[in-house]
């Protein structure tokens, strides 16, 4: 009820309604799939990948010996 002004704005007909807000925030997509958590997460994962919303992971490699040495030196 706190956001009832959004009901007519986004054409919400029933509860729960799931809207996907992509790049165009004024025209969200209706999610019509299953309501289980895994189904929604899977849909959103695919949606984000398809629309290039996913930033590739960056792998960092650390020189562990140097890190340990720096910590040990700081505590001497």
Query: Rounded CA gap, 20 and 31, in Å?
Result: 7
Of the pLDDT bands very low, low, confident and very high (cuts 50, 70, 90), residue 13 is confident
Of the candidates 22, 20, 40, 38, the residue with the CA atom closest to the CA atom of residue 30:
20
State residue 30 phi and psi, 5-degree precision. Answer: -85, 125
Mean pLDDT, rounded, for 2-21: 86
Helices within the chain (DSSP H only): 6-10, 37-50, 64-74
Domain edges within the chain: 6-74
Looking at residue 68, its pLDDT comes to 86
Looking at residue 56, its pLDDT comes to 74
**Structure tokens given for 19:** 């809207």
Tens digits of residue pLDDT in 17-68: 889 998 888 899 999 999 999 999 999 999 988 888 877 777 778 888 888 8
Query: Rounded CA gap, 46 and 67, in Å?
Result: 38
């Amino acid at each position: 009820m706190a956001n009832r002004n959004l009901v007519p704005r986004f054409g919400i007909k029933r509860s729960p309604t799931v809207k996907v807000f992509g790049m165009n925030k004024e025209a969200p997509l209706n999610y019509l799939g299953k309501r289980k958590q895994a189904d929604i997460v899977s849909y959103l994962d695919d949606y984000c990948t398809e629309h290039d919303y996913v930033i590739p992971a960056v792998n960092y490699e650390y020189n562990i010996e140097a890190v340990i040495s720096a910590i040990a030196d700081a505590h001497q």
